[in-house]
Structure 1
């Protein structure tokens, strides 16, 4: 189970006075913290971009782990689940445009038949836009 889901369950179960949770998160936004988080995520994306580009040897890669062009593995499965919505979390088009290898990797993973079956219609943002989280 996702650890965030477990924490949300515990908060809803035991934190009736909002001691460990914000009663209204929109009142708690601190722009410096938001900016720092964005920088850290972009830094991590840049590390993945360098890995996929083969900048430091070996040529461009299709997957994150393995020899040569890489091999689809649990590393890709785990990372893709967190990175696939990179375009929706507040980065500018210019910031994302510099991540060409990462964007190709996102599409490559999404096009795998098992991934398409696993996501299905339920996770299609065009069919269920109410499930999208907006950060802007």
Structure 2
């Protein structure tokens, strides 16, 4: 088995850079454009975009290192989730299609966030 070159310290640095950048951008936008009732949805979307972006970047770095088609597919999957969550977030800030907030949306996007969280935990594990 090949050993990846990204250390836990480097992964943490990437995650922190993405986290700080996203929060600096999203917090002012969220308070200005999102109503109080929708802030939970907004937080879920922001967290999902942060996690998805982190996983996409790590996936791309890993693919470029090993040049394996499976790693390219994993990068594509994380990128697709990130684009979907980014689209939902952009639609929340500047609606370009109809928005309906209900239990189904909350559960669906929460499950996506939980799934991304499990992937991140897996990346930081050092078994």
Where on the TM-score scale, by shorter chain, does this alignment land: which range? 0.3 to 0.5
Q: Under a length normalisation based on structure 2, what TM-score does the superposition of the two structures give? A: 0.32
Report the structure, 1 or 2, having the larger helix content: 2
**Which one has a bigger Cα radius of gyration?**
1
Q: Under a length normalisation based on structure 1, what TM-score does the superposition of the two structures give? A: 0.30
Q: Which has the higher contact order (CA 8 A, sep 6+)?
A: 2
